[in-house]
Amino acid sequence: MKQNLFLFELKIFFRNTSSWTALLLLLFAGFIGLYFGKTFIERQENVIQKAITLQKENTEKNYEHSGDDTGLFFYYNKFSIANTATKWAAFSNGQRDINPYLISVTMLGLEGQIYDTDISNPSNLLMGNIDLGFVFIFLFPLVIIALSYNILSSQQENGVWILLRSQTSKSSAIIFKKLLVRVLVIFAVVFVLMIAALLYLNLNFDIVFVSVFGIILLYLLFWFAAVFFVISFGKTSNFNASTLIGLWVGLAIVVPASLNLYLSAKYPVPEALKHVMEQRQGYHEKWDMPKNVTMEPFFKHYPQLKRFPFDEQKTFSWFWYYGMQQMGDDQALESRKAMEQKLENRQQFASVVALFFPTIQTQLSVNSLSGSDLKSHLEFQNFVRDYHEKVRLHFYPYIFQEQKVPLEEVEKFGLKHYQNSVSPLKTESALSLFIISLLLLILGYFNFKKKLY
pLDDT digits (tens, 9 = 90+) for 2-31: 557 778 778 888 888 888 999 999 999 999
As a whole number of angstroms, the distance between CA 342 and CA 448 comes to 47
> What pLDDT score does 202 carry?
93
Count other Cβ atoms within 10 Å, centred on residue 105.
20
DSSP letters of 50-95?
A: HHHHHHHHHHHHHHHHHTTSHHHHHHH--EEEEEPPPGGGGT--TT
Nearest Cα to 227, choosing from 276, 277, 178?
178
Residue 6 CA to residue 31 CA, distance in Å, equals 30
* 237-246, 251-260, 294-303: the lowest-pLDDT one: 294-303
3-state DSSP assignment of residue 417: strand
* CB neighbour class for 305 (10 Å; exposed up to 12, middle 13-18, buried from 19): middle
DSSP 3-state of 152:
coil
pLDDT in tens, 374-416: 888 889 999 999 999 999 999 999 988 888 999 999 999 989 9
pLDDT confidence bin for 453, thresholds 50/70/90: very low
Residue 277 pLDDT exceeds 80: no
Separation between Cα atoms, residue 325 and residue 285, nearest integer Å: 11
Query: Rounded distance, CA 364 to CA 354, Å?
Result: 8
**pLDDT: which is higher, 292 or 169:** 292
Mean pLDDT over all residues of the chain?
A: 86
Cα–Cα dist 84/82, whole Å: 6
Strand order in the sheet with 102-105: 102-105, 79-83, 416-418
Q: How many CB atoms lie within 10 A of CB 394?
A: 15
Q: Span 156-175, mean pLDDT?
A: 69
Answer for the pair 131, 37: CB distance below 8 angstroms, yes or no: yes
DSSP label at 416? E
Per DSSP, the three-state class of 439 is helix
Task: Judge whether residue 225 has pLDDT over 90.
Answer: yes
Percent of the chain residues past pLDDT 90, beyond the cut = 48
Contact 429, 212 (CB under 8 A): no
Q: Is the pLDDT reported for residue 48 higher than 80?
A: yes
φ, ψ (nearest 5 deg) of residue 103: -120, 125
- pLDDT score of 61 more than 60: yes
pLDDT at residue 338, as a whole number: 81
Contact indicator for 385, 114 with CB cutoff of 8 Å: yes
What would the pLDDT profile of 123-138 be if each residue is shown by its tens digit? 555 556 789 999 999 9
Domains of the chain: which residue ranges?
2-51+130-276+323-369+414-451
Residue 360, Cβ neighbours under 10 Å: how many? 20
pLDDT at 70 over 70: yes
Under the banding of pLDDT at 50, 70 and 90, the label for residue 283 is low
Backbone region of residue 403 per phi and psi (left: phi > 0; alpha: psi in -120 to 50; beta: other values): beta
